[in-house]
Amino acid sequence: EAQVTQNPRYLITVTGKKLTVTCSQNMNHEYMSWYRQDPGLGLRQIYYSMNVEVTDKGDVPEGYKVSRKEKRNFPLILESPSPNQTSLYFCASSRTGQGANTGELFFGEGSRLTVL
Amino acid sequence: KQEVTQIPAALSVPEGENLVLNCSFTDSAIYNLQWFRQDPGKGLTSLLLIQSSQREQTSGRLNASLDKSSGRSTLYIAASQPGDSATYLCAVPKTGGFKTIFGAGTRLFVKA
Using CB atoms within 10 Å of the CB of residue A36, give its burial: 0 to 12 exposed, 13 to 18 middle, 19+ buried: buried
- CA–CA–CA angle B54, B55, B56 (5° rounding): 100
**pLDDT (tens digit, 9 = 90+) per residue, B40-98?**
888 999 999 998 889 999 999 999 999 999 999 999 999 999 999 999 999 998 776 67
Using CB atoms within 10 Å of the CB of residue B5, give its burial: 0 to 12 exposed, 13 to 18 middle, 19+ buried: middle
- Cβ atoms within 10 A of the Cβ of B78, count? 12
**pLDDT (tens digit, 9 = 90+) per residue, A2-17?**
899 999 999 999 999 9
- Chain A positions touching B36 (Cβ under 8 A) are 107
Residue B4, CA atoms < 13 Å, CB-side half-sphere = 26
Q: How near does any CA of chain A get to the CA of B62, in Å? A: 17
Task: Spell out which chain A residues touch chain B, with contact meaning CB-CB distance below 8 angstroms.
Answer: 31, 33, 42-43, 45, 48, 50, 56, 58-59, 88, 90, 92, 96, 98-102, 104-110, 112
